[in-house]
Amino acid sequence: MQRIAFTGPILLKPSSLPIVNNILDALPPPSDDIQIITGGCIGLDEHVAHRLHARGYSVHTVIPADLSRVDPVWLHHCTTYEHTALTSAPYRTRNTRMVGMCDRLIAFLYHIGRNGETMTYNIARKAGKPVQVVQL
C-alpha cells in the first residue's frame, strides 16, 4: 500500500488552490493500494481531505488533541480516523503520528518557519521519509 501524507498551511490562499489541485490531480487514480493521510485541520488538510475523499480515495485523518483548528466537518471527508493523545505538544504528537504512518510526505509551504507544516516537514526529513516540497 502507498500511504501519502499531506501537510500545509491552515490559511490557504485562494491563489494557491490551482497549485494544490494540480498536485492532487497528478496522483494515481484511487485504488485499494493508496491511502491519503491528513491532519484534520482547516486550510490545506481540509481541502485535501474533501477533494480526495470525494474522488474516491481512502482518507485517514489524524485529529490532534487540540481541536481549536480542526475542520468542523472533518468526519465527512475521511474513511477512517484516529485522535492523538492529549500531550503538552498536541500538534507535534499528531504530526509525528502522520509521518510514522506514511511512505512519503507532500508538504505545501509558503515558507520555512515556525509553523506546523515546517514541523511536519522536519519530522519527515529526520525520519528519512521522502518529502516532496511544493512552494506556494
If you search the block for the grid coordinates 519527515, which residue do you land on? 124
- Distance between CA 19 and CA 72 in Å, rounded? 24
Domains and CATH numbers, the chain: 2-135 (3.40.50.450)
Q: Could you report the per-residue pLDDT of 85-101, keeping only the tens digit for each?
A: 888 888 999 999 999 99
- Distance between CA 96 and CA 119 in Å, rounded? 9
Percent share of the chain, pLDDT over 70:
100
pLDDT at 27 over 90: yes
Q: Could you report the per-residue pLDDT of 60-92, keeping only the tens digit for each?
A: 999 999 899 999 999 999 999 999 988 888 899
Task: Indicate the residue type of 55.
Answer: R
Instruction: Record the pTM.
Output: 0.96
